[in-house]
């Protein structure tokens, strides 16, 4: 039941992830951006889901000198982009109402060349697909998996701007 609630809220936050597109649009050969969004297997985005985003901002801002940019997502609330050196590296979101009892947690996204191709291998390696490949408009395509030991991870193929 806990995992089902967690997956339900993830769908609600797809739109929030899309607001960070200014941080992750890539141009082929663009050397002005960091490369985790282009390198297969690289961690490229981190996201905190918490019951108290304001306190999380205060804590991490003071601890790590992070800067923040709030994005109004209408009825879904506020999504906060975490900036380091003027570059978006992650986000902070509040827990949605249907995720009561879920503890605050960090999630990670790993870049893959083709999310559909990678996800097709998960079951054969003993894992489970928790959220099938799903499009995030203007950002890319992602999925969430669970490894054989029970850890979850999101995989993403970023949209390349031409």
User: What is the per-residue pLDDT across 85-141, written as a single tens digit (0 to 9) for each?
Assistant: 988 999 999 988 888 888 999 999 999 999 999 999 999 999 999 999 999 888 899
Give the mean pLDDT of 6-33: 45
Distance CA 19, CA 127 (A): 30
Under 8 Å between Cβ of 88 and 23? yes
Q: Is the pTM here over 0.85, yes or no?
A: no
The rounded distance, in Å, linking the Cα atoms of 14 and 18 is: 7
Strands 78-84 and 67-72, by their bridges, are antiparallel
Phi, then psi, of 148 in degrees rounded to 5: -60, -20
Do residues 79 and 91 lie in contact, with contact meaning Cβ atoms separated by under 8 Å? yes
For residue 101, the tally of other CB atoms under 10 A from its CB is 8
């Amino acid at each position: 039941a806990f995992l089902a609630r967690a997956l339900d809220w993830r769908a609600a936050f797809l739109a929030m992830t899309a607001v960070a597109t200014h941080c992750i649009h890539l141009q082929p050969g663009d050397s002005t951006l960091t490369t985790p969004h282009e390198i297969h297997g690289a961690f490229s985005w981190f996201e905190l889901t918490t019951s108290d985003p304001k306190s999380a901002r205060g804590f991490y801002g003071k601890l790590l000198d992070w800067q923040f940019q709030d994005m109004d997502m209408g009825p879904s609330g506020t999504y906060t982009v975490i900036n380091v050196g003027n570059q978006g590296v992650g986000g902070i979101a509040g827990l949605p109402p249907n995720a009561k009892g879920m503890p605050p947690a960090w999630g990670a996204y790993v870049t893959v060349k083709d999310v559909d191709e990678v996800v097709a291998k998960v079951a054969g390696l003993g894992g489970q697909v928790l959220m099938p490949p799903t499009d995030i408009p203007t950002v890319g395509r992602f999925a969430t998996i669970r490894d054989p030991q029970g850890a979850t991870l999101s995989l993403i193929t970023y949209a390349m701007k031409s």
